[in-house]
């Protein structure tokens, strides 16, 4: 069933588990995410970035919303990193039940003003809103305290931001970053900062850039001819700890892309004469589904729907 993001996330924060927001760009990703959620009896958020909306167009948004309605578990269809009021309106018109407005690169007052505007529009049509405060940047452990403070989410500001904007859930910057290169070794995550934010902000908190970039997946991608540097992701134990401290929504894109592409490469390498897309998109879709399921297990959302 299609529900708002807040309905899913409020329960998750109250009960201490996390819900995955998985980025989709095409039908195969969408099917993989929804099938995994149904098989795991897990609530889920299907995330479409502006790039995904542009690439998939009406075909993808229509499919996402309609399949979410038919799903046997709670599903929110979410706009990821909405950059403008106009972009949010497009998602609302397409029937999304959750939108993110990301003005985190603006100064505090502008971020508040622009977020507030989106909250008014979204709430008027019963849709809930994610906002972001702080910069998503990989932080090396040895970085000076004042440098960390300048980038990462300030707990007191977070409290004020949520009160002034009326946003429903908040993306925090605690050291994670997007993509396959999140810092050397085991990337630094500022759990004490998260604890301070969570003590002041009762709303569900969101972790972007949370992919694990599993070494075995990186190796598989490489072995199949893919080129990738020293890829690193967020350690599963660091995710668990973050959920225990108040993270309710965990975004994953990179792990799914890696799995999908590794399987396409492997399949085509093994069968160079193959040109039926179903023969290589099918196994790739299965691989995405397996990653989604294992993320749901890690987040503790299995059996919660």
Q: Is 191 annotated as a binding residue?
A: no
**H/E segment holding residue 205:** strand 205-207
Q: Is 135 in the site for ligand 13P (CB under 6 A)?
A: no
Ranges within 150-189 binding ligand 13P (CB under 6 A) = 178-179
Residue 52 interacts, among ligand G3H, ligand 13P, Zn ion, none and using kind-specific CB cut-offs from 5 to 8 Å, with ligand G3H
Ranges within 206-235 binding Zn ion (CB under 5 A) = 208
Identity of the residue, 10 or 169, whose beta carbon is nearer to ligand G3H in the bound complex: 169
Q: Is 253 annotated as a binding residue?
A: yes
Q: What is the nearest approach in angstroms of ligand G3H to the Cβ of residue 23?
A: 5
* Given 111, 211, 232, 301, the residue binding ligand 13P (CB under 6 A): 211
Q: Is 178 in the site for ligand G3H (CB under 6 A)?
A: yes
Query: Within 10 Å of residue 230's Cβ, how many Cβ atoms?
Result: 10
d(CA 37, CA 39): 6
Give the residue from 25, 21, 22, 20 showing the smallest Cα distance to 261.
25
Residues 251 and 206 sit within 8 Å (Cβ to Cβ):
yes
Find residue 20's DSSP bridge partners. Answer: 250
d(CA 155, CA 196): 6
Would strands 44-49 and 128-133 be described as parallel, antiparallel, or unpaired?
Answer: unpaired
d(CA 93, CA 53): 13
Binding-site residue numbers for Zn(2+) are 81, 102, 132, 178, 208
The residues binding ligand 13P (CB under 6 A) are 23, 80-81, 178-179, 208-211, 251-254
Binding-site residue numbers for dihydroxyacetone phosphate are 179, 209-211, 251-254
The residues binding ligand G3H (CB under 6 A) are 23, 49, 51-52, 80-81, 178, 253
The residues binding Zn ion (CB under 5 A) are 208
């Amino acid at each position: 069933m299609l529900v708002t993001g807040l309905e899913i996330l409020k329960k998750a924060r109250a009960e201490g588990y996390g819900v995955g927001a998985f980025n989709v760009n095409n039908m195969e990703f969408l099917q993989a995410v929804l099938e995994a959620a149904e098989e795991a009896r897990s609530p889920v958020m299907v995330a479409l970035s502006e790039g995904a909306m542009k690439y998939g167009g009406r075909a993808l948004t229509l499919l996402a919303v309609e399949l979410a309605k038919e799903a046997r578990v709670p599903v929110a269809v979410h706009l990821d990193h909405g950059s403008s009021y106009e972009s949010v309106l497009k998602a609302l018109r397409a029937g999304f039940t959750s939108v993110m407005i990301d003005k985190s690169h603006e100064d505090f007052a502008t971020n508040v003003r622009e977020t507030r505007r989106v909250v008014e529009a979204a709430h008027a049509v019963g849709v809930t809103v994610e906002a972001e405060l702080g910069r998503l940047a990989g932080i090396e452990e040895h970085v000076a305290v004042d440098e960390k403070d300048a980038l990462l989410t300030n707990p007191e500001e977070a409290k004020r931001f949520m009160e002034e904007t009326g946003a429903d859930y908040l993306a925090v910057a605690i050291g994670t970053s997007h993509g396959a290169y999140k810092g050397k070794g085991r990337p630094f995550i500022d759990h004490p900062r998260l604890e301070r934010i969570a003590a002041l902000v009762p709303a569900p908190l969101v972790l972007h850039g949370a992919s694990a970039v599993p070494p075995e997946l990186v190796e598989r991608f490489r072995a199949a001819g893919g080129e990738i540097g020293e890829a690193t992701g967020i350690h599963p134990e660091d995710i668990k700890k973050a959920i225990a401290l108040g993270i309710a929504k965990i975004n994953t894109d990179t792990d799914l892309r890696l799995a999908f592409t590794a399987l396409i490469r492997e399949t085509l390498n093994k069968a160079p004469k193959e040109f039926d897309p179903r023969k290589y998109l099918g196994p790739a879709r299965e691989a995405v589904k397996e990653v989604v399921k294992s993320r749901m297990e890690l987040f503790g959302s299995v059996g919660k729907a």
